[in-house]
Chains A and B, each alone.
Chain A
Amino acid sequence: MSHRLLSLACHGYAIAAILYLGYLIRQWRLFAIGGRLLVGGCLVLHAVALGGELAGQGGMPVGLAQGLSAVAFLLLAIFFVLDLRFRIPVMGAFITPAAVAVLLPALLISGREPIPSTFRRPLLPVHITIALAGVAAFAVAAGVAVMYLLMERQMKGKRFGLLFSRLPSLTFLDQLNKQLVLWGFVALSVTLITGAFFSSSSAGLFWRWEPKEIATVVAWIVFAVLLNARFFAGWRGRRVAVLTMAGFCVLLVSFFSSYDPSRQLGVFR
Chain B
Amino acid sequence: MPFMDVAVQKVEALGPSPETFRAFYEEALPRIYGYFLHRCGGSVPVAEDLTQETFLASVGELKRGRRPETPIPWIYGIARHKLLDHYRRQARAEQPLADAALALDESRFLAEDDGARERVVAALAAVPASQRAVLVLCYLDGLTAAEVGGELGKSTAAVHSLLERGRESFKRAYLEVEL
A complexed with B: no
